[in-house]
């Protein structure tokens, strides 16, 4: 049984939205099955419909833990690193996160694996964890020095006019609104970003598939930068086009971290064996 109190941000929101955001691995099917069984209580009363909830409501959800378990899709593992294919709709860190699942699996190890970089909640794909402190320190430095190539697949609305392009701009992070803003010219509080893309495919519904590489890894950089140049990611609720998202029935952004390549420019100590090593997910695994 899980007990949740509704915070202000979910006031007047639907029950399913709140529960899916706050219960790890809760699918639509499992949510509605639980509703039908009247295994959800709001303020002590059982409900059988996807009702509107309000701030400070107390919600009890009776779902066996084994139904909410997330299987770890491990792409590669050795004594130093762990490479996971992260599903969408799960945070990397925090409560009810991918890190929670990983720590549960590795609870008896001397060092709990830690992430070396980040992905947005609704961005799926490859994310790297270190399995010891030495590897973590090395990899954090390598990511900071741009010695690990990160490539993403992005399904965007629109077709770029050029096959390949490297774009510079400036990004401002509004922490209160949880949004970022892009400017083509320097401004106070804005930080330099560099985003590159290559056009891979064009589709008949005015969408296209891009390979995107970021030299700078700022919050929401890919999503906001592509939207800024008129190529919003399909399914993106913050920077995309709501009409398009609804028409395409896209509930989360079509963005996947699909390729990592180690390109060390200096000594990597115990991780030197990874230099020039590349990991890539098949494009067919991208949720078009």
Q: Give yes or no: 184 in active site.
A: no
Locate tokens 């891979």: which residue?
200
Residues 227, 239: contact at Cβ < 8 Å?
A: yes
State the catalytic residue, choosing from 39, 57, 120, 137: 120
Locate tokens 């509703």: which residue?
35
Nearest to 263 by CA among 280, 278, 275: 275
For every residue of 130-182, DSSP letters joined together read: ESSHHHHHHHHHHHHTT-EEEEEEEEEES--SSSEEEEEEEEEEETTTTEEEE
- The rounded distance, in Å, linking the Cα atoms of 264 and 7 is 45
Burial label, 182 (beta-carbon count in 10 A; 0-12, 13-18, 19+): buried
- The rounded distance, in Å, linking the Cα atoms of 244 and 250 is 8
- The rounded distance, in Å, linking the Cα atoms of 26 and 22 is 9
Q: In this structure, what token pair is assigned to residue 245?
A: 């998202």
By DSSP bridging, strand 191-202 and strand 164-174 are antiparallel
Nearest to 221 by CA among 235, 204, 238, 234: 238
Catalytically active residues, by annotation? 120
């Amino acid at each position: 049984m899980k007990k949740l109190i509704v915070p202000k941000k979910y006031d007047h929101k639907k029950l399913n939205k709140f529960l899916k955001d706050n219960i790890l691995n809760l699918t639509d099917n499992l949510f509605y099955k639980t509703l039908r069984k009247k295994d959800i209580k709001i303020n002590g009363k059982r409900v059988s419909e996807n009702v509107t909830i309000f701030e400070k409501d107390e919600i009890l959800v009776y779902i066996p833990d084994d139904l909410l378990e997330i299987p770890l899709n491990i792409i590669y593992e050795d004594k130093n690193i762990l490479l996971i294919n992260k599903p969408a709709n799960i945070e990397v860190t925090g409560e009810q996160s991918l890190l929670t699942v990983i720590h549960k699996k590795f609870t008896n190890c001397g060092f709990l694996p830690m992430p070396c970089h980040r992905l947005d909640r609704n961005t799926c794909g490859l994310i790297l964890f270190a399995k010891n402190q030495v590897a973590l320190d090395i990899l954090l430095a390598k990511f900071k020095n741009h010695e690990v190539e990160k490539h993403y697949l992005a399904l965007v609305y629109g077709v770029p006019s050029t096959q390949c392009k490297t774009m510079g701009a400036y990004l401002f992070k509004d922490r209160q609104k949880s949004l970022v803003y892009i400017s083509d010219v320097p401004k106070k509080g804005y930080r330099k970003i560099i985003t590159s893309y290559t056009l891979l495919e064009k589709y008949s519904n005015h969408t296209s598939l891009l390979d995107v590489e970021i030299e700078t890894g700022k919050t929401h950089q890919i999503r906001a930068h592509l939207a800024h140049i008129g190529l919003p990611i399909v399914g993106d609720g913050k920077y995309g086009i709501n009409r398009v998202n609804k028409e395409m029935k896209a509930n989360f952004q079509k963005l996947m971290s699909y390729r990592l390549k180690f390109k060390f420019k200096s000594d990597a100590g115990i991780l030197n064996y990874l230099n020039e090593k590349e990991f890539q997910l098949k494009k067919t695994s991208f949720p078009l």
